[in-house]
C-alpha cells in the first residue's frame, strides 16, 4: 500500500493540534480528512472509508469512547483500525479503549507527530 493512497480520518477538536497532525501526515504523502466533533465521525467514515482513524477521547457532542463503540458496531466500519490519540493517560482509559476495539492508544504529550505517522505506517504495514 502506497501512503499516497492511504486516507487518515483525524478526529481532533483542538484546531492547532489538528492542523499540526494534518500537515505532518500530508507532508508524508497521506490524504487526511479532519473532523472536530464526535457526531461527525460516522457520517464522514461512511462517506470516505478511511484506512485508519485517529480518535481523540475528549470531544464536543460525543466522546471518543462512544464514537469507538459506534464504529465497532457498524459492519461497514468495524474493521478500520482506530488509534486513540488523547491526553487521558489513566490505565482505566487505556484498558477501556483497547477492550472496546481500539488498535492502539497514544498519549499526545508522549509522541511527536512524526512518531504518530510511524505508528500508522506500522499498523498499516507501509
Asked whether residue 93 is domain-assigned, the answer is: yes
Q: What is the CATH number of the domain that holds 65?
A: 3.40.50.2300
Q: How many whole angstroms separate alpha carbon 63 and alpha carbon 76?
A: 21
Counted domains in the chain: 1
pLDDT the model gives residue 1:
63
Asked whether residue 125 is domain-assigned, the answer is: no
pTM of this structure: 0.95
Asked whether residue 98 is domain-assigned, the answer is: yes
Domain region containing 91 = 3-120
Residue 31: is it exposed, middle or buried by C-beta count within 10 angstroms (0-12/13-18/19+)? middle
Chain mean pLDDT for the chain? 95
For range 14-20, the mean pLDDT: 96
- For the chain, what is the radius of gyration of the CA atoms? 13
Asked whether residue 71 is domain-assigned, the answer is: yes
Residue 75: is it exposed, middle or buried by C-beta count within 10 angstroms (0-12/13-18/19+)? exposed
Which of 39, 78, 77 minimizes the C-alpha distance to 60? Answer: 39
Asked whether residue 126 is domain-assigned, the answer is: no
pLDDT in tens, 68-103: 999 999 999 999 999 999 998 899 999 999 999 999
Amino acid at each position: 500500500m502506497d501512503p499516497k493512497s492511504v486516507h487518515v480520518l483525524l478526529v481532533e477538536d483542538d484546531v492547532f493540534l489538528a492542523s499540526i497532525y494534518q500537515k505532518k501526515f500530508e507532508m508524508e504523502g497521506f490524504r487526511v480528512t479532519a473532523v472536530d466533533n464526535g457526531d461527525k465521525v460516522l457520517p464522514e467514515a461512511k462517506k470516505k472509508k478511511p484506512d485508519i482513524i485517529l480518535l481523540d477521547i475528549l470531544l464536543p457532542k460525543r466522546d471518543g469512547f462512544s464514537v469507538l463503540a459506534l464504529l465497532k458496531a457498524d459492519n461497514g466500519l468495524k474493521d478500520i483500525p482506530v488509534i486513540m490519540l488523547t491526553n487521558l493517560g489513566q490505565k482505566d482509559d487505556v484498558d477501556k479503549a483497547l477492550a472496546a476495539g481500539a488498535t492502539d492508544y497514544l498519549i499526545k504529550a508522549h509522541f511527536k507527530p512524526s512518531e504518530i505517522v510511524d505508528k500508522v505506517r506500522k499498523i498499516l504495514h507501509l
